[in-house]
C-alpha cells in the first residue's frame, strides 16, 4: 500500500460561497431543555380468514403504536337456492361461512419510521445555556487517531432537534463546520478523514475512509482514523468535556454510536462518503448534494443498505456536468421517487431525489440571494428539521 494520505472533510470546491443562515429558535432558561421521545404510528394489522375479513386496531403504548390483531368475522350465510328445472326439488340453503382466522400484524412499513427504528432510550437533557464550539485534536479523543482538528458545536438557544449531524465536504478540503445545522438546533460533530482522489477500481476508498475496513490498495489507515471510529471517540470526548450539551445521548449504554439519531450530510466527495455510510450504519438520514459520482458498475453500490433508501435524500443542480450520473446512481441505489425540480416549489415533495436550476454546490447554508432560491426550505425538508 502507498503511504496513507490523511486529508480533511469539508466544503472545498464550492462554486459559490456558503454562509451560515440563522434559524428561528427558542431561548433556554435556567432549567434543562428536554425533548422526550415522540410516538410514531404503527400500521394496523389486517388479514382475511376463510370468508371473513379480519379487523385490526392500533394501540399506542410507550409513545409508539403497534399493529393490532383481529379475528375475522363469520362468513355470510349462503342464499337460498332456486328450484331445479324439470320439476326438481329446491336444494338446501348454503351453510354459514366459518369465522376468519385472527389477522396478523400489518406487514406494511410505518411511513413515519422507515426501517422500524426503536425509540431513543431516554429524553435528551440540556443544561447548558450558551452556544459552544469545542475544538480538539483527534489524539485527544483516541491516542491512535491523527489528523486535523475536530469540532463539536451546539446552540441550546435554538429549537432542540435531538439529532447529530456529521458534515462531510469536498475532495482535499478541511473539516467542515456546518453553521447552518448548528443554527437549527442540531448537534454537529466535524471530523477529519481521508478525502483524496480515489484511484482503485470501483472506488472502494470511500468504504475504507468511512468504516476503516481494509478494502483499498490506494490508502492505508488504521481503523481508529476512520469516520466511524472518529465519531465514536469524538462523542465520548465531548460527553466528558461538555456534559451540559448531552453528547452522550448519541451513545448507547455500551458506548457505541446510536446511528439511528445521526444525519450524515455529504457534499461532492462527501456525498460519495454518504452513500458508503448507508452500507454500514442505519442512520436517521443520509443527505447528499452534487453526488454520487462513482463508476456505476462498482460492486459496492449494489451491496445491501443498512440505512433504508426512504431515509436517503439527494439534491443536485441540473447545470452540473455530473448531474446525469447523480440521477442514474441514486436510481440504482433505489432512492425513492422520480427527479423533481424544486427550484420554485414549496415542500413537502413527493420524491427523495430533488434538483434545482443551479450547478455543483452544497446548497445547504447558501443565502437566498445567492441564486434566488429558498435553499433553507429544501434542506430543511431533507433534514426533517422540526420548527
Other beta carbons less than 10 A from residue 269's beta carbon? 31
Distances (CA, A) of 107 to 52, 65, 193: 19, 14, 40
pLDDT in tens, 264-288: 999 999 999 999 999 999 999 999 9
| Coil, helix or strand at residue 284 | coil
Q: Which pLDDT belongs to residue 220? A: 87
Q: Which pLDDT belongs to residue 176? A: 85
CA proximity to 12, closest of 149, 254, 176: 176
Cα separation, 4 vs 31, whole angstroms? 47
Cα separation, 84 vs 319, whole angstroms? 76
Cα separation, 25 vs 81, whole angstroms? 72
Give the residues of the chain that fall short of pLDDT 70. 1-109
Length of the chain: 387
Set out the domains of the chain in order of their start, with CATH numbers. 127-383 (3.40.50)
Q: Which pLDDT belongs to residue 108? A: 61
Q: Which pLDDT belongs to residue 91? A: 41
Q: Which pLDDT belongs to residue 111? A: 83
| Coil, helix or strand at residue 39 | coil
CA proximity to 166, closest of 145, 149, 191, 132: 191
Distance of CA 26 to the CA centre of its chain: 25
Other beta carbons less than 10 A from residue 305's beta carbon? 19
CA proximity to 194, closest of 182, 184, 180, 204: 204
The pTM score is 0.74
Amino acid at each position: 500500500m502507498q503511504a496513507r494520505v490523511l486529508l480533511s472533510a469539508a466544503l472545498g470546491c464550492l462554486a459559490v460561497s456558503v454562509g451560515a443562515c440563522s434559524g428561528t429558535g427558542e431561548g433556554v432558561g435556567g432549567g434543562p431543555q428536554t425533548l422526550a421521545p415522540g410516538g410514531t404510528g404503527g400500521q394496523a394489522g389486517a388479514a382475511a380468514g376463510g370468508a371473513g375479513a379480519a379487523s385490526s386496531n392500533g394501540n399506542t403504548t410507550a409513545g409508539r403504536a403497534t399493529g393490532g390483531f383481529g379475528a375475522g368475522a363469520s362468513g355470510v350465510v349462503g342464499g337460498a337456492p332456486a328450484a331445479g328445472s324439470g320439476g326438481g326439488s329446491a336444494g338446501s340453503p348454503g351453510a354459514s361461512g366459518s369465522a376468519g382466522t385472527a389477522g396478523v400484524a400489518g406487514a406494511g412499513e410505518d411511513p413515519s419510521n422507515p426501517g422500524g427504528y426503536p425509540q431513543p432510550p431516554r429524553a435528551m437533557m440540556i443544561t447548558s445555556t450558551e452556544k459552544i464550539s469545542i475544538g480538539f485534536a483527534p489524539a485527544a479523543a483516541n491516542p491512535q487517531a491523527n489528523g486535523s482538528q475536530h469540532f463539536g458545536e451546539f446552540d441550546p438557544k435554538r429549537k432542540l432537534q435531538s439529532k447529530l449531524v456529521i458534515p462531510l465536504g469536498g475532495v482535499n478540503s478541511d473539516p467542515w463546520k456546518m453553521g447552518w445545522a448548528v443554527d437549527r438546533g442540531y448537534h454537529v460533530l466535524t471530523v477529519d478523514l481521508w478525502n483524496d482522489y480515489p484511484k482503485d477500481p470501483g472506488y472502494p476508498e470511500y468504504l475504507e475512509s468511512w468504516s476503516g475496513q481494509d478494502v483499498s490498495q490506494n490508502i492505508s489507515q488504521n481503523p481508529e482514523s476512520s469516520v466511524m471510529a472518529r465519531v465514536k471517540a469524538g462523542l465520548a470526548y465531548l460527553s466528558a468535556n461538555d456534559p451540559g450539551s448531552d453528547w452522550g445521548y448519541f451513545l448507547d449504554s455500551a458506548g457505541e454510536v446510536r446511528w439511528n439519531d445521526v444525519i450524515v450530510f455529504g457534499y461532492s466527495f462527501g456525498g460519495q462518503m454518504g452513500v458508503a455510510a448507508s452500507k454500514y450504519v442505519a442512520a436517521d438520514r443520509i443527505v447528499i448534494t452534487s453526488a454520487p459520482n462513482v463508476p456505476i458498475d462498482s460492486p459496492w453500490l449494489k451491496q445491501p443498505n443498512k440505512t433504508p433508501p426512504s431515509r436517503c435524500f439527494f439534491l443536485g443542480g441540473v447545470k452540473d456536468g455530473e448531474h446525469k450520473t447523480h440521477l442514474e446512481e441514486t436510481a440504482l441505489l433505489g432512492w425513492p421517487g422520480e427527479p423533481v425540480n424544486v427550484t420554485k416549489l414549496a415542500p413537502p415533495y413527493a420524491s427523495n431525489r430533488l434538483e434545482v436550476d443551479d450547478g455543483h454546490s452544497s446548497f445547504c447554508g447558501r443565502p437566498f440571494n445567492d441564486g434566488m432560491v429558498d435553499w433553507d426550505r429544501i434542506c430543511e425538508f431533507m433534514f426533517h428539521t422540526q420548527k
